A and B are shown apart, each in its own frame.
Chain A
């Protein structure tokens, strides 16, 4: 199994190796640094989505990062601003659910992932949405992601269910396939567009 397949796909918006040159530079209005937390049942492919997203610079033998549970990636937007995502993965097993607040505290974005072949994982996703509405930061940007969209013959959660739930909760919704890389970049680009921007005057 595994979620890697085919060749790395480098989209035009990707800034390869930008990490090396930034030196913890002070983030400003044009260069946002954003904490993004991934929530969802174990096995829905959270880490696969991230790996797919950063694949342009991810090399399994690389010693730059400690591991794949934390990764960062910078994307450039049309308006010549950049967003550096610092992506915090969380353990999705039930027994670790109570630890999640330690991870989503201070996160600007929460990406809640389920597997379109698993209604259980969809229920779990709804649980996370409710929890974040109750305890997350009030202006957190939430995205609902139905992953494994390539497995449509095993689909058990309809697209409409995802859309409806997301709409009702004011979230961005997308179906992705980490395996085929479908919609992975779109997911992060959409999130980047929805981030509240600090006004240029208040930036230091």
Chain B
């Protein structure tokens, strides 16, 4: 009856990461860590999962000799997020 919810997005931490990236042009790892209050290890794992399915783009650079990981959402990620939100709406208010 309902469209299945995207299992990649239906996880609190991954959904938080994508939600943050939906409102920000680009964010670095520490910013996401502060916002989600997740541990570095867990965050890295979830970021990898989102990157593997092509929902987010990860850019690794060096800033003042320190590694800097920047994340941004991809077109595929935006589409998946929109579709996920629409599915949620259908679950909450089925026609």
Question: Do A and B come from the same complex?
Answer: no
Residues of B within 8 A of A (CB): none
Residues of A that sit less than 8 Å from B by CB: none
